[in-house]
Amino acid sequence: MSSAATGYRPSATMPIRAEIRRQASRRRTQLALGFMVLLPLIILVAFEFGGGGDDDNGGGAFSSLVDLATSGGLNFALFSIAVSASFLLVVVVALFCGDTVASEASWGSLRYLLAIPVPRARLLGVKLVVALGYSLTALLTLAGTAVLVGTLRYGWHPLGSTVAAEIPAGEGLLRLLAILGYLAVVLLGVAGLAFLLSVLTDAALGAVGGAVLLWILSSILDQITALGSVRSFLPTHFSDAWLGLLSTPMQTDDVVKGALSAVCYATLFWSLAFYRFTRKDITS
């Protein structure tokens, strides 16, 4: 015989739909997703107004993405993703994953959720799934808007790159999805870090900012070639490996290593987060 109140089942608490709605009602969720729609439009306007200013200073493969950005919808989307990948998306993912538990703690609502009682592991699980869902939504919103806007303005053309032959539009779309998939996997590292910090602190800003700062630190260390093979262990080391997916045939070696690194880091951080949260005294 269950001791619980009628209608209470641990596995029915904190329904994912409720958590989605809970987060959707928040201004920062709306702003972040809104910005994902806005960014491609801003880039588009910038390209429209900034025509002719050719100050190509030879940034390698990256500058070629700029040159090709206006050659079609797919290239426009690729460019939008490329400029967002290293910072904007990191911040957005850190926001969704770092804020989710810490903000409940800072509002004081966390203890009431736990007194319902939502089992702690379930609370974290639901929070994590929803945060990851929003992160993925942000990524797809950005890419989707960019493809749509770019295609409306520049047309549906093959995906061009200076690395290899042009990729037919249909396959190009698949490549774009593969790139998004890889970015999503790499961002799991940030998601893990932010989520762990979110569990460790009651300050939402601390969790988000801490995750972004550590990510930047890792990027900076990765620039220092003197560190040698230690760099391969930095979570950001393979973050640009998606460029390899543009060549024909695709360069997947670094992609695989990057995915491995991100999965390991994410698993480590999440394990720590669950371990800590299911044992600690909630003091908020």
Does an H or E element contain 32, and which? helix 27-49
Minimal distance, residue 116 CB to other proteins, in Å:
5
CB nearer to other proteins: give 48 or 59: 59
Is 40 exposed, middle or buried (CB count within 10 Å of its CB: 0-12, 13-18, 19+)? buried
Q: Tell me which residue of 199, 270, 189, 212 sits closest to 95, measured CA to CA.
A: 212
Minimal distance, residue 164 CB to other proteins, in Å:
5
Minimal distance, residue 42 CB to other proteins, in Å:
26
Say which residues have a Cβ less than 8 Å from residue 145's Cβ, sequence separation at least 6.
36, 37, 39, 40, 41
Instruction: Compute the residue count for the chain.
Output: 284
Minimal distance, residue 228 CB to other proteins, in Å:
6
Minimal distance, residue 231 CB to other proteins, in Å:
10
Minimal distance, residue 198 CB to other proteins, in Å:
16
CB nearer to other proteins: give 3 or 50: 3
Does an H or E element contain 261, and which? helix 253-277
CB nearer to other proteins: give 149 or 187: 187
Cβ proximity of 93 and 134 under 8 Å: no
CB nearer to other proteins: give 42 or 165: 165
CB nearer to other proteins: give 145 or 189: 189
The single residue listed with the structure tokens 């203890």 is 111
How far, in Å, CA of 169 to CA of 160, rounded?
Answer: 9
CB nearer to other proteins: give 41 or 107: 107
Helix (H, G, I), strand (E, B) or coil at 159: strand
How far, in Å, CA of 165 to CA of 22, rounded?
Answer: 47
Q: Tokens representing 238?
A: 């393979």
